[in-house]
Structure 1
Amino acid sequence: MPTFIKFNLEQQSIELPGTRTAGATGHYRHSAFQDGLIDHIREAPHVKTLYDMFENSVKKYGKKEFLGHRPYNRVTKKHDGYVWQTFEQIHKRVNDFGSGLMHLNQAILGHSQLNRWSLGIWSTNRPEWSISEISCNYNNLVSVPLYDTLGPDAVEYVINHAEIQMVVCSSNHIATLLQNSAKLPSLRAIISMDSLRDDPAMAIPGASSAPALLRAWGAEKGIKVYDFLEMEALGAAHPRKPSPPREEEVASLCYTSGTTGQPKGAQLTHKNFIAAVSTNVESIVLGPNDTMISFLPLAHIMGRYLDSLSMYAGSRIGYFRGDILTLLDDVVELKPTFFPAVPRLLNKIYAKLVAATIEAPGLVGALARKAVAAKMANLEAGKGIHHPLWDRLLFNKVKMALGGNVQVIVTGSAPIAKEVLNFLRIAFGCVVLEGYGSTESMGTAMLTLPEEFIPGHVGAPRCGCDVKLVDVPEMNYTSNDKPFPRGEICLRGPHIFTGYFKDEEKTKEALDSENWLHTGDIGFVDNRGCFTIIDRKKNIFKLAQGEYVAPEKIENVLSARCNLVAQLFVHGESLESTLVAIAIPEPETFVPFATAITGGSTSDVAVLCKDPKVIDAFLKELEKAGKAGSLRGFEFVKKVHLSMDMFSIDNGLLTPTLKVRRPQVKDHFADQIKVMYDDLRACTPAAKL
């Protein structure tokens, strides 16, 4: 089970003396590491690269289970339980697969560049994803994750921009790559994670098999097509010694998908990865008895950072089946101790638990309300998250929803409501951490402490990161604000990326001359040295009365506090004085809410979305959420349009990292936005004169 190192809750970070400059706070640093930032794993100083890290783990934990997955059973037509491979078994596969890659590159494709070339990896989380990445680390190659949900245009851009010669992918992406091969001049080989061997049980007399057709199609395009096991066999027949990287060399190009423009390739070095892992070793210690569920996309830095933590600790990593809708079934099967998540998933879990406990009818609801009140009182008094009576009667059963063994839940990527955080703490009787980071900071910059019982902030800087706040005068945020300094959050430390690949202009925008990363997020730091995110510098606009609005902040506040919302888009214009919104209701909570208003005449969501009474009631719920989130008057939404037209990657309204593409959503709902503003103008006193 994870263990935690205790720090001073009342002074979590300090402002280093003599570091203040005009227009900025001083440098804030973790109070226990005032003398210097941690940039390496102090208990294992020989671990300088990801190659060193895996070698270290194989030596320490060789015969222990490492990577697990649930194979599909064609007889039962269901997924079996988890099947595991040990550190030693994965080590052999890494050496074989890596040798196969190198032999293919040099002897078959005839390339003269032996190292530092880019390998694309394109699939959902699975053992072959990690084997591919570790093989890169063993042969001084650069891994380039391709988002599993990227559209063809973005995949084409990344492959060409990173000059990728080989792509390792799940079989469902092979056809896409071959179909677009004319636009991918650097691509010479595709390696399928799934078997391309013919299955006699699926054979049709006289017909060519699908694998054979794929290989023939590839030959026609001048692209070699192999499967994973073939590449391992090739490597076993032509073994090569590892070619370890240096710590300052780039380990991965992690492309960040913006809401506009092409993705940017963040250059992350081996030193960046090791520095990020070292921050965790100094505070939360995972061990060989821990198990983590891996479902946060490995194409995003947070998923890979967490996998690296588990690898170093000798922990088991169990991959989900690839379907987020069946994730909790995988969690129950795996029984993890460590559960990384994102706010949207936790909000769904929260909504289900609330419905089954404190909102339940009769005696169950009455007992649950009493139990929650008792545990909340203990938590707010700093007495912890356990209760001898109520845990035994109620919450030990609740814990089984996550398998029963979860000790740590960690969340990030977007804000989460205070009430959700605290409810999850007392419901699951475990540590719930909220963190802050980005691709450019290796996904880790700040984190709450395990014993923290005050929600609503993202904690203090980690032991390898300095933080300062820089004035944003156009938004009235300054380092001299009272009661607390406010400004743009800037980060510096050994985990910060080295720049964007082939993009000096964007690099200079992100990193200043002193190597401070300007995040674009606005925050304040309180008297305990804890930081709270309050706004966003980018995507701001000005209303007619001159007030600046950051719509993402408002969306986060409302979505976190209103469980009727699945997706939300807040919009304003410089010629209008008010905000409007497009809301996609969450069917599970919206239907009972709306039918209670309409008297149960229908449960058709599309019909309910058009009912004026339902729309008015929904708007009032958003108003309640806005008040609970302390929004200012001009930040309240005055009109809402309810739609079942979900924002998705397929329709171009979401980025692959599930961020809203604001210009595209505005255009998509242009008619509805116009109608809302016409209605608002018709209701103003001036319009009636």
Structure 2
Amino acid sequence: MGVQQSELQSLLLLPLYLLVWLYSLISFLPWYYLTGAGERRARAMRVKARSTSGLPEGPYRCVDSFKSLATEDLPGKDTLDKLFEHAVQRFRDADCLGTREVLSEENELQPSGKVFKKLILGEYRWLSYQDVELSVRHLGSGLTALGQQPKSMVAIFCETRAEWMVAAQACFRYNFPLVTFYATLGEEAVAFGLNETEVTHLITSTDLLETKLKGVLPQIPNLKHVICVDQIRISTEGYPPGLSIHSMASVQELGARPDRLAKPLVRPQPSDLAVVMYTSGSTGRPKGVMIAHSNIIAGMTGQCERIPGLGPKDIYIAYLPLAHVLEMTAEISCVAYGCRIGYSSPQTLSDQSTKIKRGSKGDSSVLKPTLMAAVPEIMDRINKNVMNKVQEMSYIQRTLFNLGYHYKLEQVKRGYDAPLCNALLFGKVRRLLGGRVRLMLCGGAPLSSATQRFMNVCFCCPVGQGYGLTETCGAGTITEATDNSTGRVGAPVLCSEIRLRDWVEGGYTNRDKPHPRGEILIGGPNITMGYYKNENSNQDYFVDENGQRWFCTGDVGEVHPDGCLQIVDRKKDLVKLQAGEYVSLGKVEAALKNCSLIDNICAYANSEENYVIGVVVPNQKKLMELARRKGVDGSWEELCTNPTMEREVLKEIKEVATSIKLQRFEIPEKVHLSPEPWTPETGLVTDAFKLKRKELKNRYIYHIERMYGGK
């Protein structure tokens, strides 16, 4: 009976298949010539970078000659303060930085008994370029009035918000090197960085001051002034004597006095230190990367060239940590080109976000951005959420969606598009992010091909991947908007060169077939000055015979014939098993994230053992459905510790691993299910959602020992 029903449903859909075929036949040629699809396809297929030496190891350089933001688009603007001043002159009355008004807050009781804070937010309130310039001038002048000297550092430990960018621009203008920390960094790590840089002035929020800093302030003797970006009055009780706490508004009022503004400025030079950026890192103490004005200008050159048509019509949604080099340089670039920046957070990004009250609008729906940056973890979540909703559709709806999806997927793979599918099927999905996103850029970690294709198809825009590090100002390679390939991170940007260095132990050399492989070295004017007070770590930097500075990334890459790079491994993730096989933990994790039961996974291997194990954060909805099918009852925590569920997850992992041809020794033999999601707040992943292996090992050491037989 079920087979007959399925055949009947397929028969009913036959006219639709014929209609789609007929539409494609009639519309393809007019669309092809009117939209310039052929030209875009040709650009996607072209060679994008070449080895300047003719050797397979490189160095590889973009086929376009080296350019400079200072000499091409913005002549003479070779420091960050000059860039900002030029933007103010060009876009004086235009909107610059926007923040949504909080209308009300409510506590919502969850079925689990937990209470979540929900927000109802209003419209965006905008500061014009002129407004921002005034705030920048007054804040810098106010910091000077509080004793801050040129070339002395100011620290910022704050969430992503408009005040962060105002503070940064003030420091750039007054030549105060800016020391940055992730808002999710632990108290001890922040205290370490503040003591290492010996800062006397710190900019933060009231919440972070009260919850994270208050307990460690007695350990930071050099700190004299704390400036809170919000207007909440704070009692000085419980704070160290001699520490002054100010609001940002009061410092700006101090700086607005005519006698203060009349004092001459000491402007920065291109070689001057602009930022000491503390990376949360996946191991050990945070390291402060020293970044000069010229480094950031160079990095921005490469990034901006890969965003076609960047300008005043664009709206950028800012929600990633501003203490991350990708977000900071993206926002500085947007300001330089006259874009609007609307501030958001991962908890308020969409209508479905955790802090948005049901029935009210998230930030994307109100802002309707055209540009967006993301990390793979966020894109993976969007992918799984949409596909879960597709599974809940009726058979006809699900079939229609899948038909449209696979039809457009084939078109995208050929370098084309499917306008009818965009209009009829994917409009609702696009509206999850406001409906106007024309380009998304992903960085921080490799993005799976499946997720990249999903975002291409459902959000109807190019999804580029970028590769870079804090040490390279976030610039290394970026895919072009016309490149429809997946799994690659593009060709070197204008400011960078790429070389491959043989890593024999890992089995990667420039003689590999079909493509040369090796450790990725990045060179160019975007390579930073080194690590602050950390000479031991500076061995990753070197200067070649031509005076060019290089950074050794520790990542392993493969260069394709068109000059595009693919990340294939990481040196630090390689573990040798007892029997002598080498296992790349990152490779195993990337492969197994394709399993629908898995939200996140950390593979682990001990050189004294002969098999791999894994700690898995399961997808709650999928695991609970599986438990119902297997007749297993219990709470979420009980399901995650149930041996039957561990076996069932392991069974599916092995099926996925076999289907994608992982080697037998690479497939985990045992798993532990963690009911706790891994977020930067838990300290188990970085702000770019990279695994912190040391912290994960310490958190799950009992289960690791259990899976290895109690050793």
Give me the TM-score of the superposition, normalised by structure 2.
Answer: 0.86
- Match 2:296 to one of 248, 252, 273: 273
How far is 1:630 from its partner?
4.6
3-state SS of the aligned residue for 1:469? strand
Matches within 5 A, 1:55-70: 55-70=85-100
3-state SS of the aligned residue for 2:456? helix
Assess, with a 3 A threshold, how the Cα gap between structure 1 residues 366 and 314 changes in structure 2: closer, same or farther. Answer: same
CA deviations on 1:126-168 (whole Å, 9 max, x unpaired) are 1111110000011001111121111111011000111111111
- Match 2:338 to one of 300, 314, 317: 314
Assess, with a 3 A threshold, how the Cα gap between structure 1 residues 381 and 177 changes in structure 2: closer, same or farther. Answer: closer
Q: Which residue of 2 is the match for residue 393 of structure 1?
A: 424
How far is 1:502 from its partner?
1.4
> In 1, distance between residues paired with 2:694 and 2:74?
48
**Structure 1 position 143 matched with structure 2 position 163:** no
User: Which residue identity lines up with residue 667 of structure 2 in the other structure?
Assistant: F
User: Which residue identity lines up with residue 263 of structure 1 in the other structure?
Assistant: P
3-state SS of the aligned residue for 1:81? strand
How far is 1:609 from its partner?
2.3
How far is 1:621 from its partner?
2.9
Assess, with a 3 A threshold, how the Cα gap between structure 1 residues 628 and 299 changes in structure 2: closer, same or farther. Answer: farther
Asked whether the 8 Å contact 1:42–1:278 carries over to 2, the reply is: no
Q: Which residue of 2 is the match for residue 329 of structure 1?
A: 362
How far is 1:323 from its partner?
3.1
How far is 1:326 from its partner?
4.2
Q: Which residue of 1 is the match for residue 351 of structure 2?
A: none
Assess, with a 3 A threshold, how the Cα gap between structure 1 residues 190 and 667 changes in structure 2: closer, same or farther. Answer: closer
Assess, with a 3 A threshold, how the Cα gap between structure 1 residues 177 and 401 changes in structure 2: closer, same or farther. Answer: closer
Q: Which residue of 2 is the match for residue 461 of structure 1?
A: 492
What RMSD, in angstroms, separates the aligned Cα atoms of the two structures? 2.5
How far is 1:479 from its partner?
0.6
> In 1, distance between residues paired with 2:312 and 2:405?
34
CA deviations on 1:473-531 (whole Å, 9 max, x unpaired) are 11111011111111001100111111111122211234355522100001111112111
> In 2, distance between residues paired with 1:355 and 1:657?
25
Give me the TM-score of the superposition, normalised by structure 1.
Answer: 0.88
3-state SS of the aligned residue for 2:316? strand
Q: What's the % identity of the aligned pairs? A: 30
3-state SS of the aligned residue for 1:490? strand
Asked whether the 8 Å contact 2:540–2:553 carries over to 1, the reply is: no
**Structure 1 position 622 matched with structure 2 position 646:** no
Q: Which residue of 2 is the match for residue 152 of structure 1?
A: 187
Asked whether the 8 Å contact 1:342–1:413 carries over to 2, the reply is: yes
3-state SS of the aligned residue for 1:71? strand
Q: Which residue of 1 is the match for residue 111 of structure 2?
A: none
Asked whether the 8 Å contact 1:9–1:528 carries over to 2, the reply is: no
Assess, with a 3 A threshold, how the Cα gap between structure 1 residues 631 and 56 changes in structure 2: closer, same or farther. Answer: farther
Q: Which residue of 2 is the match for residue 489 of structure 1?
A: 520
How far is 1:556 from its partner?
2.5
Assess, with a 3 A threshold, how the Cα gap between structure 1 residues 117 and 57 changes in structure 2: closer, same or farther. Answer: same
User: Which residue identity lines up with residue 138 of structure 1 in the other structure?
Assistant: R
> In 1, distance between residues paired with 2:569 and 2:409?
29
Q: Which residue of 1 is the match for residue 669 of structure 2?
A: 638
Asked whether the 8 Å contact 2:376–2:446 carries over to 1, the reply is: yes
**Structure 1 position 569 matched with structure 2 position 602:** yes
- Match 1:451 to one of 482, 489, 498: 482
> In 2, distance between residues paired with 1:635 and 1:93?
55
How far is 1:12 from its partner?
3.5
Asked whether the 8 Å contact 1:41–1:274 carries over to 2, the reply is: no
User: Which residue identity lines up with residue 228 of structure 2 in the other structure?
Assistant: S
Asked whether the 8 Å contact 1:120–1:167 carries over to 2, the reply is: yes
- Match 1:32 to one of 60, 64, 70: 64
Q: Which residue of 1 is the match for residue 50 of structure 2?
A: 15
CA deviations on 1:544-564 (whole Å, 9 max, x unpaired) are 1212222123223322x1232
> In 2, distance between residues paired with 1:661 and 1:279?
29
- Match 2:198 to one of 159, 163, 166: 163
Matches within 5 A, 1:25-424: 25-33=57-65, 36=66, 38=68, 40=70, 42-74=72-104, 78-105=120-147, 114-175=149-210, 176-197=212-233, 211=234, 213-214=235-236, 217-218=238-239, 221-237=241-257, 238-239=260-261, 240-284=263-307, 285-321=309-345, 323=347, 325-326=354-355, 329-357=362-390, 360-384=393-417, 386-388=418-420, 390-424=421-455
> In 1, distance between residues paired with 2:215 and 2:609?
47
- Match 1:518 to one of 548, 552, 555: 552
User: Which residue identity lines up with residue 451 of structure 2 in the other structure?
Assistant: V
3-state SS of the aligned residue for 1:132? helix
Aligned residues: 645
Q: Which residue of 1 is the match for residue 535 of structure 2?
A: 504
Assess, with a 3 A threshold, how the Cα gap between structure 1 residues 667 and 122 changes in structure 2: closer, same or farther. Answer: closer
Assess, with a 3 A threshold, how the Cα gap between structure 1 residues 366 and 410 changes in structure 2: closer, same or farther. Answer: same
How far is 1:464 from its partner?
1.2
> In 2, distance between residues paired with 1:276 and 1:250?
15
> In 1, distance between residues paired with 2:656 and 2:552?
30
Asked whether the 8 Å contact 1:409–1:433 carries over to 2, the reply is: yes
Asked whether the 8 Å contact 1:13–1:28 carries over to 2, the reply is: no
> In 1, distance between residues paired with 2:668 and 2:73?
52
Assess, with a 3 A threshold, how the Cα gap between structure 1 residues 321 and 258 changes in structure 2: closer, same or farther. Answer: closer
Q: Which residue of 1 is the match for residue 703 of structure 2?
A: 672
Asked whether the 8 Å contact 2:445–2:688 carries over to 1, the reply is: no
3-state SS of the aligned residue for 2:154? strand
> In 1, distance between residues paired with 2:610 and 2:653?
18
Asked whether the 8 Å contact 2:317–2:341 carries over to 1, the reply is: yes
Query: Structure 1 residues 353-362 or 396-405, which shifts more?
Result: 353-362
Asked whether the 8 Å contact 2:595–2:656 carries over to 1, the reply is: yes
How far is 1:391 from its partner?
2.2
User: Which residue identity lines up with residue 270 of structure 2 in the other structure?
Assistant: E
Asked whether the 8 Å contact 2:375–2:688 carries over to 1, the reply is: no
Asked whether the 8 Å contact 2:650–2:671 carries over to 1, the reply is: yes
**Structure 1 position 527 matched with structure 2 position 550:** no
Asked whether the 8 Å contact 1:11–1:529 carries over to 2, the reply is: no
> In 2, distance between residues paired with 1:554 and 1:652?
22
Assess, with a 3 A threshold, how the Cα gap between structure 1 residues 487 and 354 changes in structure 2: closer, same or farther. Answer: same
> In 2, distance between residues paired with 1:431 and 1:652?
32
CA deviations on 1:274-323 (whole Å, 9 max, x unpaired) are 11121233331311111111011001111101101211111111111573
Gapped regions of structure 1 (runs ≥ 5): 107-113, 198-210, 682-689
3-state SS of the aligned residue for 1:520? strand
Gapped regions of structure 2 (runs ≥ 5): 1-35, 107-118, 349-353
> In 2, distance between residues paired with 1:656 and 1:338?
20
Q: Which residue of 2 is the match for residue 687 of structure 1?
A: none
How far is 1:444 from its partner?
1.9
How far is 1:260 from its partner?
2.8
